[in-house]
Amino acid sequence: MRTLSLSLLLASLAYAADPYTVESNIVYGMHSGAALLLDVYKPARPNGYGVVFVSGSGWTMPLAYSATELKSNGQSKLYANALATAGYTVFTLNHRALPRFRYPAPVDDVQRAVRFVRHNAVRFGIRADRIGASGGSSGGHLVSMLGTLDGNGKPADPDPVERESSKVQCVVARAAPVNFLTGNNGVNLIGMARPLPGTENTEEYKIFQAASPINHITPDDPPFLLMHGDKDEQVDYGQSVEMEAKLKAAGIPVKLLRIRGGAHGPTFPGAVNPLDYMGEMVRWFNTYLMRN
């Protein structure tokens, strides 16, 4: 009995110290000979649900060979830790980025990542029909696209991964630029000046419109948790207010978590008595992703 008790204690301590393991550098796609990579955070006690996490970066990555990868930077590790500790299998990823690649390359890549995860759901021990997405800043934009675009698979594609849907079933977006026509973001990503009012029939206007998640909202979109600091000078807090109103009008469950005094960044620097935003994220997925 004493031996059994000691074994249980040691197992408990091991779980507390290391609630997950990480499998790195899985190739989820190829582009012109370059591998698109993701890492998988595997919980010690998985709940059977997966979340794709996209770090913010201004859609930009350094050109140096030795640059830190998007999928393993501090922001990815911070949020993946919270989710994996709660039992979610988390997929952090690299995507094509500025200055080499512009819209729609990052959108295409995150859609490919979801298709890959869905196609390999059995391998990863998650439900293929219930995949969530979380991200901040530019990553918040990309996961918002995952929630609002149709994401239909291509039935005749020779690649079975491309036949899968890229639509996610629950979204948590931090400080996400969602309307490039009203906000101060998106010009670099798209690579052209923001179109002026009254130019709705131009190709430039249509591209800015298509790149904005707010213009793709339909009643069948998934629940959204929006988190945003009201002192954010990089992505205006009004972007999330606008997104919340549009989602509500479509009848979609949505909550805007206002971080008072919070500036731009994964930890809302400068926030006054900040809310438990990590806990709110986990609770949102617990409520809206873990469904039959």
pLDDT digits (tens, 9 = 90+) for 47-61: 999 999 999 999 999
pTM: 0.94
What whole-number distance in Å separates Cα of residue 58 and Cα of residue 176?
A: 11
pLDDT greater than 60 at residue 6: no
pLDDT band at 291 (very low <50, low <70, confident <90, very high): confident
pLDDT greater than 60 at residue 219: yes
pLDDT above 70 coverage of the chain, percent: 94
pLDDT, residue 13, reads 45
What whole-number distance in Å separates Cα of residue 109 and Cα of residue 140?
A: 14
Q: What is the mean pLDDT of residues 21-33?
A: 97
CB 180 within 8 A of CB 186: yes
Query: Per the structure block, which two tokens stand in for 50?
Result: 């997966």
pLDDT greater than 50 at residue 8: no
Q: Which of 9-23, 112-126, 166-180, 278-292 is least confident?
A: 9-23
pLDDT for 170-199, tens place per residue?
A: 999 999 999 999 989 999 999 999 999 899
Of 132, 218, 161, 172, the closest CA to residue 26 belongs to: 161
* Averaged pLDDT score across all residues of the chain: 94
pLDDT for 86-95, tens place per residue?
A: 999 999 999 9
Asked if the 20-288 domain carries CATH number 3.40.50.80, the reply is: no
**Residue 112: what residue type?**
R
pLDDT band at 17 (very low <50, low <70, confident <90, very high): low
pLDDT greater than 80 at residue 111: yes
pLDDT above 90 coverage of the chain, percent: 91
pLDDT, residue 292, reads 72
pLDDT, residue 15, reads 46
Find the angle CA(237)-CA(91)-CA(29) to the nearest 5 degrees. Answer: 105
pLDDT greater than 70 at residue 69: yes
Query: Per the structure block, which two tokens stand in for 285?
Result: 């997925």
What whole-number distance in Å separates Cα of residue 141 and Cα of residue 235?
A: 11
DSSP assignment string, 106-170: HHHHHHHHHHHHHHTHHHHTS-TT-EEEEEETHHHHHHHHHHHS-----TT-SSGGGGS----SE
Q: What is the mean pLDDT of residues 129-155?
A: 98
Query: Between helices 105-119 and 138-148, what is the axis angle to 10°?
Result: 60
* Helices and strands, number each (H, E), in the chain: 9, 8
Burial label, 118 (beta-carbon count in 10 A; 0-12, 13-18, 19+): buried
pLDDT for 230-261, tens place per residue?
A: 999 999 999 999 999 999 999 999 999 999 99
pLDDT, residue 11, reads 44
